[in-house]
A = this chain, B = another copy of it.
Amino acid sequence: MSDTSSVPHIIRQAAASPTFSPLYRQIKTLMMDALGAGEWEPGALIPSEAELAARFGVSQGTVRKAIDEMSSENLLVRRQGKGTFVASHGDPHTRYRFLRLRPDDGLPQQKHSRSLSCGVQAADAATAAALVIQPGDPVVAVERLLCFDARPVVFDQMFLRAEIFGELTLAMLEQEGPVTSLYRFFEQCFGVHMIRAEERVRAVAAAASVAKLLEVAPDAPLLLVERRAYTYAERPVEWRRGFYTTERHHYYNELG
């Protein structure tokens, strides 16, 4: 008997079946499940292609195609000679993967952030809709100020699913230190890896309180960036409203 018997989910059949999908996609789904279940931790080495091929009872080329897709989606990282690793926000390369703000002069700047508040509250309608929970359900609310070279540039209001982040406190955020990426912190403390996000950007006039925090004039134009971030299985876990000053920075985007 081979290990193949432990993988009964794979369907080798013609596309006539309505629930058909190619082998490599089924493999990918199984691997996504493994990631979502925390079987392979962020940053960890996953089994080699040959080993996975044996485990799933398919050829190496088929496993390879599954990994190709996941690697192009930034879920896995291949390193020739070493192996394939689970992507992580702890990697220097993918550290601030979702932050699109850049200094106008292009020079790298020192980023650090300060957490202003953290507490559980009831979700309002908009937050509930974004996180796919019921209005009134508890969410963890965090306010943070992000500075580039000691100048305040972004004010963030975040709302996190309480079922996951319920234990988060201001002390934990402060203790973690101001230089670490928040998503790296979430990975390490809560085992939640953000894999994808959507942003909606608008121009707004700065409210007095926000203007003060960002040290700009009241009614100064700001970018309002609303972000919804997802973990595995398309599960939204964070909803964030950020106010960005664009006096010395800009939101950069590549259109393919």
Residues of chain A touching chain B, judged by Cβ–Cβ distance below 8 Å, are 72-74, 97-98, 100, 196-205, 219, 221-223, 227, 244, 246, 250-256
A199 and B74 alpha carbons, distance in the complex (Å): 22
Contacts of A197 in B (CB 8 A): 254-255
Q: How many copies are assembled?
A: 2
User: In the complex the two chains form, what is the Cα distance from A74 to B255 in whole Å?
Assistant: 11
| B203 and A246 form a contact (CB under 8 A) | yes
Q: How far is the CB of A234 from chain B (nearest CB, A)?
A: 13
Question: Is B196 a contact partner of A254 (Cβ separation < 8 A)?
Answer: yes
Q: Which chain B residues border A255 with CB–CB below 8 Å?
A: 97-98, 100, 196-199, 227
Tell me if A221 and B250 are in contact (CB < 8 A).
no
CB distance A201 to B221 under 8 Å? Answer: no
Scoring A72, A73, A201, A244 by chain B CB atoms within 10 A of each residue's CB, the highest score goes to A201
Q: Is the CB of B250 within 8 A of A198?
A: no
The distance in angstroms between the C-alpha atoms of A73 and B223, with both chains bound, is 29
Q: Give the chain B neighbours of A72 by CB distance below 8 A.
A: 72
Partner pick for A222 among B196, B200, B221, B244, CB 8 A cutoff: B221
Contact of A221 among B74, B221, B244 (CB under 8 A): B221
Question: Which residue in chain B gives the minimum CB-CB distance to A194?
Answer: B255
Cα-based distance from A197 to B222 in the complex (angstroms): 24
Question: If A221-B221, A255-B100 touch, does A203 touch B200 (CB 8 Å cutoff)?
Answer: no
A18, B256: Cα distance in complex, Å: 30
* A73: B residues at CB distance < 8 A: 256
Alpha-carbon gap, A203 to B201, bound state (A): 10
